């Protein structure tokens, strides 16, 4: 009958101290108050039995009952998962796999339907378009420099620049 603190018992059960405190508060395990220190102590053997009898098996999260721990060859003794834990893990893994397979199937459908395109292709096309716009704009001064040098009328300079910009942009639009 080893007596231990609530936090030591939590480590023994491989649960959080809050779970042990909740079990004490709900009356699922009994505690004794140490006369000298006034602290709550748990008889681990008795508490293990009470824990397994009074706690919903689904909420135990893989903790062994006292009888399984004493048997010595219960699932989980050597780090093996219990059958229930294995089945639950398998179902969770299978559900995740199915979820992602469904997402992949949807993406493939969207791509084949023409609603999705390859991001690398879009990046290359955008770069090519931006470079063409840049080159067309930078070529305008070379084409107009001699004409604008002789102009003194601001309205005429504006008209020449506007016309050349429109030609360059129309050429770009036709090329795309």
pLDDT in tens, 84-115: 666 677 888 888 999 999 999 999 998 888 88
pTM of the model: 0.38
Strand partners, 32: 41
Average pLDDT over residues 141-166: 92
3-state secondary structure 92-154: HHHHHHHHHHHHHHHHHHHHHCCCCCCHHHHHHHHHHHHHHHHHHHHHHHHHHHHHHHCCCCH
d(CA 39, CA 57): 29
d(CA 72, CA 38): 35
Tens-place pLDDT, residues 4-53: 888 888 898 888 989 888 888 888 888 888 878 888 888 888 888 888 88
Other beta carbons less than 10 A from residue 52's beta carbon: 17
Inter-CA distances, 142 with 61, 123, 136, 148, 149, Å: 77, 30, 11, 11, 12
Nearest residue to 14 via CA among 58, 56, 50, 65: 65
């Amino acid at each position: 009958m080893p007596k231990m603190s609530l936090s030591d018992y939590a480590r023994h059960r491989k649960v959080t101290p809050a779970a042990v405190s909740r079990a004490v508060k709900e009356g699922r395990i009994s505690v004794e108050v140490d006369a000298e220190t006034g602290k709550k102590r748990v008889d681990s053997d008795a508490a293990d039995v009470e824990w397994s009898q009074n706690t919903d098996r689904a909420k135990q999260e893989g903790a062994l009952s006292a009888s399984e721990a004493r048997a010595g060859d219960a699932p989980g003794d050597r780090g093996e998962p219990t059958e229930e834990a294995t089945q639950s893990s398998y179902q969770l893994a299978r559900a995740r796999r199915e979820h992602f397979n469904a997402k992949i199937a949807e993406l493939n459908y969207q791509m084949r339907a023409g609603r999705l395109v390859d991001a690398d292709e879009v990046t290359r096309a955008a770069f090519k378009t931006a470079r063409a716009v840049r080159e067309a704009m930078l070529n305008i001064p070379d084409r107009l420099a001699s004409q604008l040098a002789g102009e003194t009328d601001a309205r005429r300079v504006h008209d020449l620049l506007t016309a050349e910009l429109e030609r360059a942009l129309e050429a770009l639009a036709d090329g795309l």
